[in-house]
Amino acid sequence: MLLPSPAPASAFEIVDDTGRTIRLDKPATRIIALYGAYNEILASMGMESRIVGRTKADVSPPSIVSRPSIGTHMRPNVEMVMGLKPDLIIQGAGRKEAMMPVNQLSKEGLTVAVFNPTSFAEIFSVIERIGTLTGEPVEADRLVSSLKGTLDRVKKRLAAASTRPKLFFEVRYPDILSAGTNSIVNDVIEHAGGSNCVSVKKKLVRMSIETVVACNPDFYVVQEGPMNRNPVPPGERPHFSALQAVRDGRVLTVDEQVFSRPGPRSVEAVEQLATFLHPQLISEDKP
């Protein structure tokens, strides 16, 4: 006896990072990302025209600035979101509070996919799943291949590196917060030929100045952005002159949104950091 075949899964179906099945009847064409990295992914796949709204803080790529602002990452205006009639909302799950708007919007019948990439492998997976939900798997493959190609070129140039220098990545100062090993920053450091001074398996790790001095990194990176506005240069801070990196002038200030936002520009962060750590191996004449 022939058993009935199971109903075919939708071609526009994925499992998001909360384990929920996200299913659409047709490709998403009206999208709102509550976390900026996903706007950058959509733009890198040539789908800026499908972005119908943005959060107040998100202005990248510049072309989305004219889109209606629907509130914030944690507090989107539900009425405004519903008025834009999105067929897909994408949320980042870096903070547990991020699920509050997800639950609220889902109760209104909206489709919300949640992602939380903390490595390049996970970024590539997010791109592929967004490609599925938008009906653009070829564009997703093209973007992933391009990003992997850049990482491979950096890897080849670093093959001759004899050391993997210790690096401290400052997320915030003076209440010092650093990047732990469960973060995209840690993967950026690894791909750039460095070693994270912090070995705690968290995304963010609170540190004391005594702990930073004990680590005594070879290089010190300060991110500047919403989490670390106008940081005082390390050389002008109490006790930081004890750090080898500060004494040697090996301090770099970087854009928070390039380094800490897991998206296409994370590859740009690898190139920038590799040039800082291994200038003799990373030439400026990039292919």
In this prediction, residue 98 carries a pLDDT of: 80
Confidence check: pLDDT of 235 > 70: yes
The mean-pLDDT minimum among 41-45, 58-62, 142-146, 179-183 falls in: 58-62
* pLDDT at site 6: 53
pLDDT tens figures, 247-266: 999 999 999 999 999 999 99
Per-residue model confidence as pLDDT tens digits over 141-200: 999 999 999 999 999 999 999 999 999 999 999 999 999 999 999 999 999 999 999 999
201 burial via Cβ count (<10 Å: 0-12, 13-18, 19+):
exposed
pLDDT of residue 96: 73
**Is 123 exposed, middle or buried (CB count within 10 Å of its CB: 0-12, 13-18, 19+)?**
buried
Give yes or no for residue 4 having a pLDDT over 90: no
CA 156 to CA 94: how far, in whole Å? 32
% of residues, the chain, pLDDT over 90: 88
CA distance 33 to 113: 10
**Cβ atoms < 10 Å from Cβ of 242:** 13
* pLDDT tens figures, 80-123: 999 999 999 999 987 778 888 899 999 999 999 999 999 999 99
DSSP states of the chain:
-PPPPPPPPPTEEEE-TTS-EEEESS---SEEESSHHHHHHHHHTT-GGGEEEB-TT---SGGGTTSPB-B-SSSB-HHHHHHT--SEEEEE-SSGGGHHHHHHHHHTT--EEEE---SHHHHHHHHHHHHHHTT-HHHHHHHHHHHHHHHHHHHHHHTT-----EEEEEEETTTTEEE-SSSHHHHHHHHTT-EES---SSSEEE--HHHHHHH--SEEEEEEBTTB-SPPPGGGSTTGGGSHHHHTT-EEEEEHHHHTS-STTHHHHHHHHHHHH-TTTS-S---
Is 80 exceeded by the pLDDT of residue 3?
Answer: no
For 216: left if phi > 0, alpha if psi spans -120 to 50, otherwise beta; the answer is: left
CA 199 to CA 129: how far, in whole Å?
30
More confident residue, 70 or 5: 70
Q: Give pLDDT, residue 60.
A: 87
Decide if pLDDT at 75 tops 70: yes
- Please check the confidence at residue 285 and state whether its pLDDT lies above 60: no
Residue 286 has pLDDT above 80, yes or no: no
pLDDT at res. 54: 96
Query: Over 60: is that where the pLDDT of 8 sits?
Result: no
Phi-psi category of residue 109: left, alpha or beta, with phi > 0 → left and psi -120 to 50 → alpha: left
- The residue-averaged pLDDT of 125-141 equals 98
Question: What is the average pLDDT value for the chain, to the nearest integer?
Answer: 93
